[in-house]
A and B are shown apart, each in its own frame.
Chain A
């Protein structure tokens, strides 16, 4: 229980760092660290397959995508960095208050009434459920993947905006 809470706290701190980091590159690294911590949490909750996909796709691929996008845009001039950082921090002044307010309200609300009937357990392994029980979802997933691939090809194509 304590280890789980510690993991949640670390994940939250990494996410806040990703939001607060004055440079976008550091924010992307913060997001990668958040993904790694989410992976550890997934393993902790007995979800090794989801964990490995989170690690490879979110911590790996998405970080590469973010760094590629950052490298494609013009960086801030070194002289302007301190000013940009100041403006950036000023926007997040209210974030601790918002988080404290929401957290405080949730703590004050206490445990929710969980005397509801639990949904039926879907039997079978992850592979069986993924490939057999959720076949219709799989078709939609493949369509979304193809749409994403074609979208990326069109958007990243050189000269398309000229």
Chain B
């Protein structure tokens, strides 16, 4: 692996870890269910980029792209179902507070 590629991987790694940290922090401190989804989405973007950067560094671009496509599809399904759950919780409790989730049976 060339030195320039190593520098690129290193810089990308730092930014991707910071993106994931931002998403985790957002999920931990917020009490709004929509913001939880936004935090999850930010982490997903970091992972997509990590897959592509890894493929670029190892010269495995075609495989990395196919994995990224699968990941994006799963991501959109997760977000869509989670959005449906958020609307459902809002209809039940008239609130988007994460604390209301604790009130559910089960």
Identify the A interface with B (CB < 8 A): 1, 4-5, 8-9, 11-12, 15-16, 18-19, 24, 27-28, 31, 34-35, 38, 41-42, 45-47, 49-50, 53-54, 57-58, 61-62, 65-66, 68-70, 72-74, 91-92, 94-95, 98-99, 102-103, 106-107, 111-112, 114, 118-119, 121-126, 128-130, 133-134, 137, 141, 144-145, 147-148, 151-152, 154-156, 160-161
Contacts and interface: CB of A to CB of B under 8 A. Distances in A.
Given A19-B39, A62-B76, A4 B8 contact: yes
Interface in B12-33: 12-15, 17-19, 21-23, 25-26, 29-30, 32
A125 B9 CA distance: 24
A114 B15 contact: no
Interface of B: 1, 4, 6-15, 17-19, 21-23, 25-26, 29-30, 32, 34-35, 37-39, 41-42, 45, 48-49, 52-53, 55-56, 58-66, 68-70, 72-81, 83-88, 90-92, 94, 96
Given A57-B73, A137-B70, A102 B17 contact: yes
B62 A106 contact: no
